[in-house]
Structure 1
Amino acid sequence: MDFDFSDDQQQLRDAVRKWVDKGYTFERHNAIVAAGGFDRAAYTELAELGLAGLYVSEDDGGLGMGPIEGMVVMEELGRGIVLEPLGQTLIASGLLGGYAPAELKAAWLPRVASGEVLVVLAHQERKARYRLDLCATTAVQAGQGWTLTGTKNVVPAADHADAFIVPAMAGGKMGLFLVERTASGVSTHGHATQDGGRAGDLTLKDAPARLITTDGLTALEHGVDIGIAAACAEGVGVMDKTVAITVEYMNTRKQFGVAIATFQALRHRVADMKMQLELARSMSYYASLKLNAPTAERRAAMARAKVQLGTAMRFIGQQAVQLHGGIGVTDEYIVSHYFKKLTQLEMTYGDTLHHLGEVSARMQDTAGVFA
């Protein structure tokens, strides 16, 4: 199988990498963290590169690209630990483009593609943990529209998003709805996240909403799988840069008059980090390639990928801090921020233990390897 990237994909990677290297320096990252964890100007710059329209069809003003291009972009954003949630835009684009009625697509997708609006998925509830089929938020039909009541937690950029895609129960079945932040009955409470980004709680009280689809669970699973694939790719980028920073440090840090990179035991640890990185990269490719597969196959693939990525992210983050010594855990030094990002990504859309259970539940006679 040919895993080479096309010229267009490589050019896309180069463009995003140049922006990260020049436009999203560690100093700018720290300034955004200090200012609250989200910068609309930075998100607008991503949109100007066309990245907000990556999954939006050309008819709706986007680039009409697919999962491989999304993976390429998220890897490069991971290398720069970019805080602005482009992965959420990919989810919103996929859900609106794949499930929303034509009128809703026409009203929102061009604005999503241009970066005019940020739409995020608000699906997590405290009692549900990582389960997608548990939902306490309710939807009631009101004339031609709907009203929603409930609370969603850890919503990305909750107090900066322009609209939310919200699952809610209507007559015992889950539907998926679009809620504008400026609508009546909508309130948000923002907070910082472990990696310095922005999230918050979304509270809805008889908030007016637009129906995206009545097959909410199917759509939600698809949206979360887009998010998992994006998080896996982002994690690969974070790990790739973490390994590079660690190797650079070991080549300059001296003990007993020689660089610590010459110590055999430490070289072996770096080799183990590199092995985990390549295992993670291959599973990220696998996840992206399976995004358009049938539901059961896609869901199983995402769980497998997330298990490997979670294992690799935890190992590489811990080893990087260990190899840096005390400086590795200080906020002033860059590697600590990469470690925090890896820690958060490991828990995003379900931690390793959760997805290990998902893999186990989907095992067939072949133990899940070829099924």
Structure 2
Amino acid sequence: MDFDFTDEQTQLREAVHKWVEKAYTFERRKTIVANGGFDRQVWGELAELGLMGLTVPEADGGLGMGAVESMVVLEELGKGLVLEPYVQALIATQFLVKHASPEVKETWLGPLIAGESVIALAHMERGARYRLAPAATQAVEKEGGYLLTGQKSLVPIGDRADAWIVPAQHLGATALFIVERQAAGVQLQAYITQDGSRAAELTLENTPAQLLTKDGDDALQQAAYIGMASVCAEGVGVMEQTVALTAEYLNQRKQFGVVIASFQALRHRMADMKMQLELGRSMNYYAWLKLDEPVAIERKLALSRAKYQLGQSMRYVGQQSVQLHGGIGVTDEYIGSHYFKKLTQLEMTWGDSLYHLGIISENMQATAGVTA
């Protein structure tokens, strides 16, 4: 199998890398955090790069690219600790392209690709842990439309989104609906998360909604797979920067008149960090290559395997970086502490390591599959 990136994928990586390096500095990021953890201007800049329509077919106004291109972009955004949740754009555009009616697609897809609107998936509920279904939120049909009642937690950029994609129970099955922020019966409680990004608790009370698809279970599961793979890609980018920052620090910090990078014990720990990064990188590739796997159980296990390994790698790299830095490693003014917080939060996003280990364990067979 050829794991080399094409010229087009390499150029895409370089374009995003240059934008992160020049336009999304650590100082700008701190300003965004101070202003609430989300910047519409940055959202528009991502759209100007063509990223909002990256996987949208050309016939619908996008670039028509695929999973590997998405992975490349997310790795680079991870390196820059970009707060704006680009994965929400990937999920929303996939929902609209694959499941929306022509009328719904016309209303929302164009503005989303142009960076003029923000749509977030609001699927998490209290007590559900990482399970997707069944949702406690209820939908009732009334006068040709739908009314939703329920609560959603940890909605990314919840109060800054123009609309949310909301799973709800309708006639005993999960359906997906679009709810506009200005709709009646919407209540929001916003807050900043540990990595500096923005989220909200969303309460709906007889809130008007537009049906997206009645086939909600499959669509929501595919969104979860995209989310898991995205965490893996972001994690690789953050780990890569963390390893580089730690190596730079060890080559500058001196004890007993010599740089501490010359200490054999610390060199071994750096080697272990690098090994965990490369383990995570290979499983990240595995996750994205399995996104379109036709066998459902194999796709499910592949994403859980990847998320578990990335969870272990991110935890190890983040913790070792703090240990090797010492006190400065947890100082808010130092970027290393923000890498650590991001890695810790990513490990718990779209299912933590124990959750995915449980899925893998439940589906283990009597043999490893290499013998009859």
Same fold at TM > 0.5: yes
What pairs with 1:142-153 in structure 2 (closer than 5 Å)?
A: 142-153=142-153
Q: Contact 1:61 / 1:114 at 8 angstroms: preserved in 2?
A: no
In structure 2, distance between residues paired with 1:224 and 1:173: 18
Letter in 2 for 1:335: G
Rounded to whole Å, the distance in 2 between the matches of 1:61 and 1:144 is 30
Structure 1 CA distance for aligned equivalents of residues 369 and 88 of structure 2:
29
Using the TM superposition, name which of 109-118 and 154-163 deviates more.
109-118
DSSP 3-state at the match of 2:165: strand
Whole-Å separation in 1 of the counterparts to 2:371 and 2:37 = 42
1:307 is matched by which residue type in structure 2?
Answer: Y
Instruction: Report what 1:218 is aligned to.
Output: 218
- Residues 109-147 of structure 1, C-alpha deviation per residue, up to 9 Å, x if partnerless? 111111111111100001111111131100001122211
SS for the counterpart of 1:208 is: strand
Give the distance between the partners of 1:232 and 1:368, measured in 2 at CA. Answer: 26
2:60 corresponds to: 60
Q: How does 1:246-285 map to 2 (within 5 A)?
A: 246-285=246-285
- Structure 1 runs of 4+ aligned residues shifted over 4 Å read 367-371
Q: Which residue of 1 aligns with 2:11?
A: 11
User: Quick one: distance in 1 between partners of 2:355 and 2:370?
Assistant: 18
Normalised to the residue count of structure 1, the TM-score between the two structures is 0.98
Name the structure 1 match of 2:85.
Answer: 85
Distance 1:189 1:367, change over 3 A: farther
> Contact conserved, 1:181 with 1:187, CA < 8 A, in 2?
no
Give the drift of 1:217.
1.2
Partner amino acid, structure 1, of 2:90: L
Relative to structure 1, the CA distance from residue 120 to residue 254 in structure 2 (aligned partners, 3 Å threshold; closer, same or farther) is: same
TM alignment of 1:1-371, pairs within 5 A: 1-294=1-294, 295-367=296-368
Name the CA distance, whole Å, in 2 between partners of 1:134 and 1:126: 12
Note closer, same or farther for the CA distance 1:367–1:147 as it changes in structure 2 (3 Å cut): farther
Contact 1:76 1:234 in 2 (8 A): yes
Distance (Å, rounded) in 2 between the aligned partners of 1:16 and 1:82: 11
Deviation at 1:94, TM superposition (A): 1.3
- Equivalent position SS for 2:251: helix
Comparing 154-163 and 48-57, the one that deviates more: 48-57
- The secondary structure found in structure 2 opposite 1:93 is helix
* Count of residues in Structure 1 that have an aligned counterpart in Structure 2: 371
Structure 2 residues not aligned, in runs of 5+: none
What is the TM-score of this pair, normalised by structure 2? 0.97
Instruction: Give the secondary-structure state (helix, strand or coil) at the position aligned to 2:211.
Output: strand
Report the Cα distance in structure 1 between the residues aligned to 2:280 and 2:367, rounded to whole angstroms. Answer: 22
Residue 170 to residue 16, structure 1, CA distance change in 2 (3 Å): same
How much identity, in percent, do the aligned residues show?
Answer: 63
The 1:22/1:207 distance shift into structure 2, 3 A limit, reads same
Aligned with 2:183: secondary structure?
coil
**Structure 1, gaps ≥5 residues long:** none
Q: Equivalent residue of 1:293, what SS?
A: coil
By how many angstroms is 1:187 displaced? 2.1
Conserved 8 A contact 2:315-2:343: yes
Q: Deviations over 1:184-237 (max 9, x none)?
A: 112221100010110011111111111111121111110111111111100000
Q: Compared with structure 1, are the counterparts of its residues 368 and 33 closer, same or farther at alpha carbon in structure 2 (3 Å cutoff)?
A: farther
Quick one: structure 1 residues 85 and 122, their matched pair in 2 at CA, closer, same or farther if it must change by over 3 Å?
same
| Change in 2 beyond 3 A, CA 1:150/1:369 | farther
Q: 1:209 to 1:333 in 2, by over 3 A?
A: same
Task: Specify the code of the residue in structure 1 equivalent to 2:137.
Answer: T
Query: What's the CA shift for 1:364?
Result: 2.8
- Matches of 1:370 and 1:82 in 2, distance apart? 46
Partner secondary structure for residue 232 of structure 2: helix
How far apart are the structure 1 equivalents of 2:120 and 2:370?
A: 34
Which region of structure 1 is more displaced relative to structure 2, 234-243 or 295-304? 295-304
Deviations 1:16-55 (A, max 9, x none): 0000000000111111111111111111111110111112
Distance 1:314 1:137 in 2: 34
Q: Which amino acid aligns with 2:87?
A: G
The aligned amino acid for 1:112 is L
Q: Give how far 1:368 is off.
A: 7.5
Shift of 1:100: 1.9
- Which letter maps to 1:212? L
| Residues 297-328 of structure 1 deviation map (CA, whole Å, 9 limit, x = unaligned) | 22111111000000000000000000000110
Between the aligned partners of 2:313 and 2:362, the Cα distance in structure 1 is: 22
SS in 2 for 1:52: coil
More divergent stretch after superposition (291-300 vs 78-87): 291-300
| Amino acid aligned to 1:208 | P
CA contact (8 A) 1:362 1:368 kept: no
Give, in whole Å, the separation in 1 of the partners of 2:145 and 2:304. Answer: 36
